[in-house]
Structure 1
Amino acid sequence: MSRRGALLFACMCVIWGIPYLLIKVAVDEVSPGVLVFARTGLGALLLLPFALRGGGMRGLAPYKWPLLVFAVTEFVGPWWMLSDAERRLSSSTTGLLIASVPIFGAVLVYLTGGTERMGPVRWAGLAIGFGGVAVLAGPTLGGGDPWAAVEVLATALCYAGAALVAERRLKDVPSLPMTVVCLGFTALVYTPLAAVQWPAHAPGGKALGAIGVLALVCTAIAMVIFFELVREVGAARATVITYVNPAVAVAAGVLILDETFTLAIGASFVLILGGAVLATRKNAAPAATPAATPAGAAATETEVTATTAATDELPGSMDASTQSG
């Protein structure tokens, strides 16, 4: 990896690891509806000039229904549930639970007829990953605020579903115009709720700063940097940030918000991330069969791109779910 690629990679690991911290700060003073409206509206406005260049917006009309499904499962539902859950959950716990997206993605690909075989290692990865989720969410479901944990896990499931839609139905859609349209649609959906819940007094500087950074850095600038990262190092390498973001989320919560780092968090981190790596690994390509045998040449394997979280995650070569929190 080049020095430029390493710098872009490091930037994305941080930029998409801190949204959970920022959401936690923002929802102390504004409602989830207002937060989602502000973040998506500002993000769409900031990205719109870039999306309009080259006429990329004109080619979206034939994909209106997949785009609608993608917007609902990537932004409309998840970002409200995530914001609502963080009113009761720590940002580090939220970031770790979201790390289960690749695990949910592997399950969805299998259940919807994916062509890649689920071998013993990948099944073991699923079991390990969900074991990590149980370690982390168990106490919350048992005696804390179970609905908050359910909201975060539902968000992870939605992200995985959005990635699947993007991979199968939106592969030919330019990523930046698609992102702008989906963000703008989400802002429109939340406009009535934001109007009703708009705070009577201006939020404090911390909340306003968190909202601004979420919109400007974690949404708008992040997309531009991510596209550059994919061009520099390729989509496969770029998606490795999926496994680094949770570590950043935990570190930010502990160091900045004084959240407690517990044994359960440490154990779940190892289990969830280890399980995700195993559950989404590609099977070894079978050896070629001699020409004389009926089997012919070896089959090729299909990459499960819908289980990743960035631009194998944004439709097409740079497409699917951003998982930016």
Structure 2
Amino acid sequence: MTRRGWLLFVVMSVVWGIPYLLIKVAVDGVSVPFLVFARTAVGGLLLLPFAFRAGAIRTVLRHWRPLLVFTVCEMVGPWFLLTDAERTLPSSLAGLIIATVPVIGAIVVRLTGGAERLTWKRRAGLIVGLAGVAVLVSPKLGGGDAWPIVEVLLTSLGYAIAPLIMARYLNDVPGLPMTAVSLSTVALIYTPAAIATWPEHRPDADVLWAIAGLGLICTALAFLVFFALIREVGPARATVFTYVNPAVAVLAGVLVLGEPLDALILSAFALILVGSVLATSRDVRPAETHRGGNPVETGVR
């Protein structure tokens, strides 16, 4: 990976590791639709002037169909589901379940006709990663609290599909105007529900700061970095930062909110991490040679 790729990777690991903490703080003071509306409206309003100044809005709108699908998979559905789940789940647990994105992504790539072979190493990774999820959620499911877990897993599914859509259909679309249009679209979709659930009183200062952080840092800035990372390293490796941001989510939840950290959580995270690394590993065969004598790499990314 290039130096620029590593820098983007580190930034993404942090800015998408802290949203779970901020969502947990904010959702205690406002409704789920209002929070999704607020974070996307803040991000959209921040980026739209720059998008119009760049004159690329028309280019973005020419790709409105795949952009709409991307927006639904990345924001409209996942952000409602994740926010709703965190009304009951600890932020650290939500962050750990999101670590399944690379595992789910490997399955989605295979099911959608991707060229990657499902080697024995990747098969083992899928099994180990899913075993980690089972260890992590089994006590919750046994207690009858299944739906929040399902919501976060559906969020992971959306997060796994969206980069593939972006890479296959939107790779030539400028990132800033695409982000601005996507965020504004989500804000418009959630406007009626946000109005219906508008807070009766001004939220506490910590809730307002959490919403501002979600909109400015974890949404507007994060997506610009995310699109740059996809273009730098490709869609499969672009989600590898999900190996790290769960650790950021756990650390933030434990240090700021006093959430529990026990052996079960650590062992489950280890299984998910190992599974994700194996499921997205690169299988390289010995170089073959054309008749002209030029070596050809036959490894699978």
Q: What TM-score comes out, normalization by structure 2 length? A: 0.90
Residue 112 of structure 2 corresponds to which residue in structure 1?
A: 112
Residue 243 of structure 2 corresponds to which residue in structure 1?
A: 243
Q: Is the 8 Å Cα contact of residues 20 and 249 (structure 1) preserved in structure 2? A: yes
Q: Is the 8 Å Cα contact of residues 291 and 297 (structure 1) preserved in structure 2? A: no
Equivalent positions of 1:146-161 (< 5 A) are: 146-161=146-161
Equivalent positions of 1:1-325 (< 5 A) are: 9-224=9-224, 234-235=232-233, 240-289=240-289, 291=291, 298=296, 300-301=298-299, 303=301
Residue correspondences, number? 298
- Cα shift at 1:52: 2.6
- Cα shift at 1:261: 0.2
1:254 and 1:245, CA in 2 relative to 1: closer, same or farther beyond 3 A? same
Q: Is the 8 Å Cα contact of residues 287 and 298 (structure 1) preserved in structure 2? A: yes
- Cα shift at 1:129: 0.5
- Cα shift at 1:54: 2.8
1:54 and 1:143, CA in 2 relative to 1: closer, same or farther beyond 3 A? same
1:110 and 1:228, CA in 2 relative to 1: closer, same or farther beyond 3 A? closer
1:4 and 1:187, CA in 2 relative to 1: closer, same or farther beyond 3 A? same
Q: Is the 8 Å Cα contact of residues 30 and 199 (structure 1) preserved in structure 2? A: yes
Q: Distance in 2 between matches of 1:113 and 1:223?
A: 26
How well do the aligned residues superpose, as a CA RMSD in angstroms?
A: 2.6
- When structure 1 is superposed on structure 2, of 61-70 and 93-102 the one drifting more is 61-70
Q: Is the 8 Å Cα contact of residues 17 and 249 (structure 2) preserved in structure 1? A: yes
1:2 and 1:66, CA in 2 relative to 1: closer, same or farther beyond 3 A? closer
- SS class of match (2:56): helix
- SS class of match (1:264): helix
Q: Is the 8 Å Cα contact of residues 286 and 298 (structure 1) preserved in structure 2? A: no
Q: Distance in 2 between matches of 1:52 and 1:252?
A: 36
Q: Distance in 1 between matches of 2:2 and 2:284?
A: 28
Q: Distance in 2 between matches of 1:69 and 1:290?
A: 41
Residue 322 of structure 1 corresponds to which residue in structure 2?
A: none
Q: Distance in 2 between matches of 1:147 and 1:2?
A: 41
- Cα shift at 1:285: 3.5
Q: Is the 8 Å Cα contact of residues 98 and 242 (structure 2) preserved in structure 1? A: no
- SS class of match (2:288): coil
1:230 and 1:130, CA in 2 relative to 1: closer, same or farther beyond 3 A? closer
Q: Distance in 2 between matches of 1:3 and 1:73?
A: 30
Q: Is the 8 Å Cα contact of residues 88 and 145 (structure 1) preserved in structure 2? A: no
- Cα shift at 1:164: 1.9
Q: Distance in 1 between matches of 2:238 and 2:259?
A: 29
Q: Distance in 2 between matches of 1:226 and 1:148?
A: 26
Q: Is the 8 Å Cα contact of residues 89 and 148 (structure 2) preserved in structure 1? A: yes
Q: Distance in 2 between matches of 1:6 and 1:286?
A: 27
Query: Alpha-carbon deviations, 1:36-59, whole Å to 9, x = none?
Result: 000001101111223234322111
- When structure 1 is superposed on structure 2, of 7-16 and 267-276 the one drifting more is 7-16
Q: Distance in 2 between matches of 1:140 and 1:171?
A: 39
In the alignment, residue 235 of structure 1 is paired with which amino acid?
V
In the alignment, residue 21 of structure 2 is paired with which amino acid?
L
1:9 and 1:171, CA in 2 relative to 1: closer, same or farther beyond 3 A? closer
- Cα shift at 1:15: 1.6
Q: Is the 8 Å Cα contact of residues 16 and 245 (structure 2) preserved in structure 1? A: yes
Q: Is the 8 Å Cα contact of residues 129 and 274 (structure 1) preserved in structure 2? A: yes
Query: Alpha-carbon deviations, 1:264-299, whole Å to 9, x = none?
Result: 11011111111111101121134315749xxx9756
- SS class of match (1:281): coil
Q: Is the 8 Å Cα contact of residues 70 and 162 (structure 2) preserved in structure 1? A: yes
- SS class of match (1:259): coil
- Cα shift at 1:62: 2.7
1:230 and 1:192, CA in 2 relative to 1: closer, same or farther beyond 3 A? closer
Query: Alpha-carbon deviations, 1:170-215, whole Å to 9, x = none?
Result: 2222222111111111000100000000011111111111101100
- SS class of match (1:179): helix
In the alignment, residue 146 of structure 1 is paired with which amino acid?
A
Q: Distance in 2 between matches of 1:214 and 1:26?
A: 9
- When structure 1 is superposed on structure 2, of 8-17 and 270-279 the one drifting more is 8-17
Q: Is the 8 Å Cα contact of residues 101 and 239 (structure 2) preserved in structure 1? A: no
Q: Distance in 2 between matches of 1:109 and 1:15?
A: 26
